[in-house]
Structure 1
Amino acid sequence: MLKNRIITTGLRYLGTPYVYNAPAFRTDMFDCSSFIQYIFGVNGISLPRNSRQQFEVGIPISFTLIQKGDLLFFTTKTRKNRKGLSKIGHVAIYIGNNQMLHTSRPTNKVMISEITSYWKTAFVGAKRLL
């Protein structure tokens, strides 16, 4: 199944360093959106470069209906008071069991995170591409 292939691709990069504004299609470093763009791209799904552009793709899904392979979009401390697309500052892929695969600060690497109350508060929306 394609969503499992995309997740498996992403899991290969656990521990890869996070670098803000990392170049597209590099595998020695990622930011959140270049990571998502890469793991979907090598599996045949072309995505735009940044999280705000990625939010414009796919079918909107409510948080209660998310499934493996859905993209999760969040705001950040510096963007939380903005409106519309400019509020979005982070993207991750849902991998099931209340967990997401992503890369961000402060851990500065590709990792699996539990979707805690922090992430639920920062949640802006989800999109289904698959």
Structure 2
Amino acid sequence: MTKRDWVMKSTVAVMLSTSLLMGGQVGYAAASTPKSVDVTEIAKDAKQLVGKAYKFQADGPNAFGSANLATYVYKQAGIKIGSTISALYKTGQKVAQKDLQAGDLVFFASSGKGSLNFMGIYIGNNQFVYSSQGEGGVVLKKFSEYEKKFVGARRVIEDASSDKTSDSSNKSESSSSAIANKVIANGEKYMGTKYKFGSSKNTTKTFDCSSFTQRVFKEAGITLPRDSRQQSTVGKTVSKKDLQKGDLIFMKSSAKNASDRITHVAIYAGDGKILHTYGSPGVTYSKFFGTNWEKRVVKIKRVI
């Protein structure tokens, strides 16, 4: 794919035509996300920026705004995330304070509630890095000293490097499986609901492919961006052979199309099936392996 393919914007007419035919969505080009990311590298990269200057909305490499620091660090790892505090507070998965791990995004408010004022990257060992307006630069702080101001945390990636015991791994897999089952059950409630291109995220009377995935994951406690291309930038990239129930499958408009521009998203439902919405059937199950759907795959992401 050429750079021009990534950045060019189609006309509304072309997008509408393609989407109606292929179940596509309107959005931004997806960033290239590595198959696995070592969260210790995220923490290391963040810590190396300590001492850099603070500047409102500066995106590096020598000065950073509050949210821009996180945007920059994740970009170095090949992951595209938002560039504002409000956007980042909706990305990835919600994480409890007791479950914080290196690489998690942590958010704060002056009074510990209400509007968010600043954010940083948790790097482990009770420490986080953030770009401080008050101190005029990127600083390293003890998280415990900011607990009263802590509002919440989000996890963009899972720790691919941590050495978990088989017991904890089994518990994690069990939890993930339960969430995946909930996502599928949420989707089944809407079987047969009509497809409508550009359907509002606030309605369940109609869906397009990405408003459907956004809705059923939201009902399972996971926040996704609005459109398919934005959704393809979050979570962990997995291979087709490692497909699990609940994985998001992103597709291009045609198996013969040389461009990998994402136009459709579906949820892998297990047993070789996908749960999605398109065209006349609306929300439906479709066979995946050995079909045109499989041939159109661009990437697969795991957000559970």
Q: CA deviation at 1:125?
A: 0.9
CA distance in 2 between counterparts of 1:120 and 1:90 reads 12
Structure 2 regions of 5+ residues with no counterpart? 1-177
Pairing 1:114–2:291 present: no
SS in 1 for 2:293: helix
CA distance in 1 between counterparts of 2:296 and 2:186 reads 26
SS in 1 for 2:250: strand
CA distance in 1 between counterparts of 2:202 and 2:213 reads 10
Point out which structure has higher relative CO (alpha carbons under 8 A, 6+ apart).
1
The answer to whether the 8 Å contact 2:252/2:259 transfers is no
The answer to whether the 8 Å contact 1:59/1:127 transfers is yes
Q: In the alignment, what sits opposite 2:253? A: 76
Pairing 1:51–2:51 present: no
Q: In the alignment, what sits opposite 2:268? A: 94
Q: CA deviation at 1:41?
A: 0.8
Q: CA deviation at 1:108?
A: 4.1
* Larger radius of gyration between Structure 1 and Structure 2: 2
Pairing 1:27–2:204 present: yes
CA distance in 2 between counterparts of 1:25 and 1:41 reads 12
Q: CA deviation at 1:119?
A: 1.1
- Give the alignment's Cα RMSD to 1 decimal: 1.4
SS in 2 for 1:103: strand
Q: How many residues align?
A: 125
SS in 2 for 1:127: strand
Q: CA deviation at 1:104?
A: 0.8
Q: CA deviation at 1:43?
A: 1.5
Q: In the alignment, what sits opposite 1:128? A: 302
CA distance in 2 between counterparts of 1:98 and 1:4 reads 15
TM normalised by structure 1 equals: 0.91
**Runs of 4+ more than 2 Å apart:** 80-83
In the alignment, residue 113 of structure 1 is paired with which amino acid?
S
Deviations 1:99-125 (A, max 9, x none): 0000012x3410000014211210111
Q: CA deviation at 1:128?
A: 0.5
In the alignment, residue 188 of structure 2 is paired with which amino acid?
L
Pairing 1:11–2:188 present: yes
Structure 1 regions of 5+ residues with no counterpart? none
